[in-house]
A and B are shown apart, each in its own frame.
Chain A
């Protein structure tokens, strides 16, 4: 008989909530792009960059650009945020 620890239950709950959150936020276009790749990230560099830039202001270094080209990262090019262009 299998026993489920409280820790495992908590972990499952967190994963479920995260999954629900992601499904609520991502558009059909984003899901289509996600499905078009066999892995979640193109490389460790890609994952590190993504996790580092989960805020509102992506920080992009020259090396990130080179890595993106060399490792075929997917995603969208960064352009200015509206608050960099508009006052309100």
Chain B
């Protein structure tokens, strides 16, 4: 189990882990075109810049309790799978006041997905033009939450979920439960920056939260 606080010097020199604060502006969280390393991701980012702005606005309005990581919005491919088509991806951060509950990483990850999974995927799939693009490979949700174990320091834990478009659409529409979605998904968990392999995330479909605002459903 690992956790760290990095000094301001380290941060100023560029080792800074992604900061948490008020919801960040679009320009702060979108991946700049020049930072894309593959043509297929870059062309989608260029084509759908306006849609990414709308996605950012949607997230600020419908999931205001979460902040964006930097980078937080863009077209990415899951680590270790360069052969896949780009996935429209977001990376959000929950501070301690809105983070998940649980005794261990697996139960916290399950609670996090129950709280935010459908709400975040719904925002991703609301961008119809992106979803209809045959160059798209799926969707990615990365969710980091902060918590302080007794006697220790603040810790960041992260759930990564990549899934194909059809499964994500079924999940958002309610045809596919959260547990079934995760069965189809590429899931990874991190404590700090250390991956914890082999941890199974078991969610309760009945506990999956929906948006409460009418215009976010």
Residues of A with Cβ closer than 8 Å to B? 22, 25-27, 29-30, 33-34, 37, 40-41, 46-47, 49-51, 53-58, 60-62, 64-66, 68-69, 73-88
Interface pick from B103-111, B126-134, B152-160: B152-160
**What number of residue pairs across chains A and B have CB atoms under 8 A from each other?**
173
**Contacts A75-B11, A77-B155 known; 9 new A-B pairs at CB < 8 A:** A30-B19, A34-B12, A51-B9, A61-B2, A75-B8, A78-B193, A79-B18, A84-B190, A86-B78
A82–B190 Cα gap in the complex (Å)?
A: 12
On whether A88 and B144 interact (CB within 8 A), knowing A30-B8, A50-B10, A65-B153, the answer reads no
**Shortest Cβ gap from B192 to chain A (Å):** 5
Residues of A near B18 (CB, < 8 A) are: 76, 79
Contact with A along B12-39 (1 / 0, CB 8 A): 1111111111000000000000001110
Contact-residue bracket for chain B? 35 or more
Interface pick from B53-61, B79-87, B114-122, B172-180: B79-87
Residues from 153 to 188 in B contacting A, C-beta threshold 8 Å: 153-156, 158, 160, 188
B123 at interface, CB cutoff 8 A: no
Residues of B with Cβ closer than 8 Å to A? 1-21, 36-38, 41, 69, 71, 76-82, 84, 89, 91, 93, 142, 144, 146, 151-156, 158, 160, 188, 190, 192-193, 195
Of all A-B residue pairs in the complex, the 10 with the closest CB atoms, nearest first, are: A50-B7, A60-B4, A87-B77, A68-B153, A75-B5, A26-B12, A79-B156, A69-B153, A77-B156, A86-B76
A81–B190 Cα gap in the complex (Å)?
A: 11
